Chain A
Amino acid sequence: MLTAAVVGASGYVGGELVRLLLGHPHVELTQITSERLAGRYVYSVHPNLRGATRLKFRPVSELEPVDVLFLCLPHGQAARQMEHFAALAHTVVDCSADFRLRDPAQHARWYGGETVLPEWRSRFVYGLPELERDRLRGARYISGVGCNATAVNLALWPLAREGIIERVVVDVKVGSSEGGARASSASHHPERAGAVRSFAPVGHRHQAEICQALGLEPERLFFSATAIDMVRGVLATAHVFLTRPLDDRDLWQLYRAAYGQEPFVRLVRDRTGIYRFPEPKILAGTNFCDVGWAVDDHGQRVVIVSALDNLMKGAAGSAVQALNVAQGWDERAGLTFLGLHPV
């Protein structure tokens, strides 16, 4: 049993990590931090956890050594304090974007300024097991993933690794929890409820993460993001123009080869029924990413559709899964929730 702490546990990703770690068979959650809520019980901001633990928030300054440290801090803060955090724990899982991009110039372009000591950037392994499982085994420093990037990366990986993407146009439809736990005028209920808001038609930060993960040149990726009236979830619709035509059976073969043994990627491409394609609604709280497709007879286009819970497979769930891989545990440990239906 390893001890763990969650730094920045008052946010939505932190709250999900607390929930997952309280149910993890190999982890004992011993500390959670929040500057704003120091001294208060966890259920004061995560009411679903009432009765599950008597843990109270404490300030980071009172953090004691643990085996595993999960960092859920705003971008830039983990990097600035990395030496301090590394001295407290053998293993660090950072859920921010501070260590995701290998190229410092790309990080500076998309996240504004290099705050990471150069030696630290190379120590972190990107925490998406489906793409980085071998490098994650035994890893001490793990970078969390971007939620939208993960939906796109898992949608496109089987095609990208074949080198058959001529160009791809992706739109992600996302829920309001992507905006974090802090309220803003944009999240005010009269403004947010019922919204279909194109908030990043171009220039979304996750483009760099997608290109890095898929080995895709930036000029081949066109990415847009739209906020919709949903709390959790990402639906990615990727219009892929291929270098050679593929039919349904080809796609089954490619996607089954990539994901047939994956515990958290499911292929959803039914001819009948209501859920013929992936849908985020039934994935709330789970670590699944569902992937499906349709072939367009007009031109060499296929439409790849993926869905996930942005707080789970898009953040906290992948972080726990990556830790499971790093520690050599069952990859499903702590992540067995199958979701709700109807919901």
Chain B
Amino acid sequence: MSTQVATCPECAADVPFEGDVLLHEIVQCPECGVELEVVGLDPIALDLAPEVEEDWGE
């Protein structure tokens, strides 16, 4: 199984991928924990995933 590595746009950490990678797949940065969206495949490109706002007043 091949391993590819992309760069987190938030903290510049390496984000590893194993196996097939899907466009628009959501992954999490192992270091800063931010959710990332795969926006390109060759090479893998990442962008910050749209955030769901939390309802702190619930």
Which positions in A face B, CB cutoff 8 Å?
248-249, 252-253, 256, 267, 269-273
A260 CB → nearest B CB, Å:
9
A328 CB → nearest B CB, Å:
29
B21 sits at the interface (CB 8 A):
no
* Cα A273 to Cα B11 with chains together (Å): 17
- Contact between A271 and B33 (Cβ–Cβ < 8 Å)? yes
Quick one: which of B13, B34, B54 contacts A270, CB cutoff 8 A? B34
- Contact between A270 and B11 (Cβ–Cβ < 8 Å)? no
- 8 residue pairs from A and B, CB less than 8 Å apart: A252-B10, A252-B12, A252-B13, A256-B31, A271-B10, A271-B33, A271-B34, A272-B34
CB-CB contacts below 8 Å: B34-58 with A:
34-35, 51, 54
A292 CB → nearest B CB, Å:
10
* Residues of chain A contacted by B31 (CB below 8 angstroms): 252, 256, 267
- Contact between A272 and B54 (Cβ–Cβ < 8 Å)? yes
Which positions in B face A, CB cutoff 8 Å?
10-13, 31-35, 51, 54
**Besides A269-B11, A271-B10, A271-B32, 13 new A-B residue pairs in contact (Cβ under 8 A), listed by A number:** A248-B11, A249-B12, A252-B10, A252-B11, A252-B31, A256-B13, A267-B32, A269-B32, A270-B34, A271-B33, A272-B33, A272-B34, A273-B33
* Residues of chain A contacted by B12 (CB below 8 angstroms): 249, 252-253
Most buried by A among B11, B13, B54: B11
B24 CB → nearest A CB, Å:
19
Secondary structure dominating the interface of B: loop
* Residues of chain B contacted by A256 (CB below 8 angstroms): 11, 13, 31
* Residues of chain A contacted by B13 (CB below 8 angstroms): 252, 256
- Contact between B35 and A272 (Cβ–Cβ < 8 Å)? yes
CB closest residue in chain A, given B32:
A269
* Cα A272 to Cα B51 with chains together (Å): 8
* Residues of chain A contacted by B35 (CB below 8 angstroms): 271-272
CB closest residue in chain B, given A253:
B12
* Cα A248 to Cα B12 with chains together (Å): 10
| Residues A249 and B34 in contact in the complex (CB < 8 Å), given A271-B51, A272-B51, A272-B54 | no
* Cα A253 to Cα B32 with chains together (Å): 12
A302 CB → nearest B CB, Å:
15
Most buried by A among B13, B33, B54: B33
* Cα A272 to Cα B53 with chains together (Å): 9
